[in-house]
Amino acid sequence: MPQIVFLPHEELCPEGAAIEAKSGETILNVALQNGISIPHACEKSCACTTCHLVIREGFDSLEESDELEDDMLDKAWGLEPESRLGCQALIADEDLIVEIPKYNLNIVNEDH
């Protein structure tokens, strides 16, 4: 089983975490199941950027992002070449090192 390492993030996982994950699961779900509360304002429907993650290692093992994901990522704070939306990126067979960006931009207004 691939191991997903989340680098320390001040609020969401100050110590960082190393998690055994199943292939085919989204990175976001693995985080949420392990107590790392990455925001997901659009409920994982690829319509916000709050689940933006940067894949520091293992990026190439992931299936490529589709056009919709790329369009959303363009709006993300701190976009990098190895950025993905956590709710869209499916874990493959390789280990990953994932950074949770310090900020995210919530473009979905949750009150409406």
Contact residues: ligand FES, CB under 6 A: 40-42, 44, 46-48, 50-51, 72, 85, 87
The whole-angstrom distance between residue 108's C-alpha and the CA centroid of its chain comes to 17
Beta-bridged to residue 20, according to DSSP, are 3
**Residues in CB range of 87: below 8 A, 6 or more apart:** 26, 28, 29, 40, 44, 45, 46, 51
Q: Please, which residue, 1 or 63, has the CB nearer to ligand FES?
A: 63
For the bound state, the minimum distance from the C-beta of residue 40 to ligand FES, rounded and expressed in Å, comes to: 4
Rounded-to-integer distance, Cα 101 and Cα 29, Å:
17
Minimal CB distance residue for ligand FES: 87
Nearer to ligand FES, 17 or 27 (CB): 27
Closest distance to ligand FES from the beta carbon of 54 (Å): 14
Task: State which residue, 93 or 110, has the beta carbon closest to ligand FES.
Answer: 110
Residue 72: which of 41, 26, 33 has the closest Cα? 41
To the nearest whole angstrom, how small is the minimum distance from the Cβ of residue 46 to ligand FES? 5
Minimum distance from residue 43 beta carbon to ligand FES (Å): 7
